[in-house]
Amino acid sequence: MQKRKLGKSGLEVSALGLGCMGMSFSYGATHDENEMINLMRKAVDLGVTFFDTAEVYGPFTNERLVGKALSPIRDKVVIATKFGFNCVPGGKPGLQTLNSRPEHIKEVADASLERLKIDSIDLFYQHRVDPDVPMEEVAGAVKDLIAAGKVKHFGLSEAGAQSIRRAHAVQPVAALQNEYSLWWRKPEQEIIPLLEELGIGLVPYSPLGKGFLTGKMDESTKFGEKDFRGQLPRFQPDAMKTNRAFVDLLNDLAAKKKATPAQVALAWVLAQKPWMVAIPGTTKLSRLEENLGALSVELTRDDLREINQASTKIPVEGPRYPEHLEKMTGR
């Protein structure tokens, strides 16, 4: 397994991590706990060392699941989790209210440590910027947790450039988690250059466009009531029909590379910067193995130029989130 360091933090992880959210949250289906535990441990056997969860996934159930799976092999893994919401058990995605008050951050850290069954959180992200709490206070609270040995590294998720700078000035930020893929390239405009300047790693989530770039869905795809993709503008039938042009582009290159569209999409992300570590999620062993196959896909400069030239000519249909969720990003 290839290893990468997240910026200048010294935090080294596998080049591909595993996003665990979908094992218990957001994508509708209920998954057998033992099957998910076995999947995470199989991922470790295959060389994956980087696992991503959050208290809000469930809420709480995903952290407990990750703890059951990985605490017995703690020395082999890096676990990232997140704070920043008032979590209500059984609450719907997107309806939890923000809360990054310092005292709450410290309460969340203790609770997450207990659920994860570990002594220290490797990477503790602020899930979304809280406009009611100065970033200096947020970073200061995490700095205190690092001094206490409860947290090793500080991260942000979907933060804007000013927030990143303010946080980094108080406590160095190891990584920013942000959506980034062939069909969401906005971070290239301001965020990625800033991360390079400051020496902060990027952890792209949804590098496969929440599954769309795998080519396994189209305008006829039906989403279950608990699958939040059914609420997203890009996953409405007309938008998916238009956005299939991205899948067609990936299919063409995948045929040349004897790979799958998903593997090419992941290889493209990893080819952008050596300090990027994507965290595709899955609940199936076959998909995990397919995703890891992306590490063997070599994209040449000509390949990357071809993808960039072709993709910039394809208009993306639909915002990535409804307005109430989109306004929580980039602050």
List domains and CATH numbers for the chain: 3-326 (3.20.20.100)
Task: Give the span between the Cα atoms of 84 and 65, in whole angstroms.
Answer: 20
- Find all residues with CB under 8 Å of 44, minimum gap 6, and list them: 70, 73, 76, 77
Alpha-helical regions (H) of the chain: 33-45, 61-70, 102-116, 135-147, 161-170, 191-198, 237-257, 261-272, 285-292, 301-311, 323-326
Task: Give the integer Cα–Cα distance in Å for 182 and 326.
Answer: 19
Beta bridge partners of 159: none
Q: What is the pLDDT, as a whole number, of residue 225?
A: 86
Contact 46, 95 (CB under 8 A): no
Catalytic residue of the set 27, 57, 125, 321: 57
5 touches 275 (CB < 8 A): yes
CA distance 328 to 220: 30
**Contacts (Cβ under 8 Å, ≥6 apart) of 7:** 174, 175, 195, 198, 199, 200, 201, 275
How much is the pLDDT for 114?
98
Who contacts 245 (Cβ-Cβ below 8 Å, separation ≥6)?
Answer: 314
Q: Is the entire prediction scored with pTM above 0.95?
A: yes
Other Cβ atoms less than 10 A from the Cβ of 265: the count is: 32
Q: What is the pLDDT of residue 94?
A: 52
pLDDT given for residue 262 in this prediction: 98
**In this predicted structure, what is the pLDDT of residue 279?**
98
Residues of the chain with pLDDT under 50: none
Give the model confidence (pLDDT) of 272-314 as tens digits. Answer: 999 999 999 999 999 999 999 999 999 999 999 999 999 999 9
Give the closest residue to 291 by CA, choosing from 300, 282, 299: 282
- Apex CA 95: angle with CA 89 and CA 99, to 5°? 80
**Residue 25: per-residue pLDDT:** 85
Spatial separation of the C-alpha atoms in residues 134 and 129, rounded to whole Å: 9
Reply yes or no: is the peptide bond before residue 59 cis, omega within 30 of 0. Answer: yes
Is 321 in the active site?
A: no
Q: Do 98 and 132 form a contact (C-beta atoms < 8 A)?
A: yes
Which residues are 13's β-sheet partners? Answer: 4
How far, CA to CA in Å, does 314 sit from each of 49, 184, 192, 310? 35, 12, 22, 7
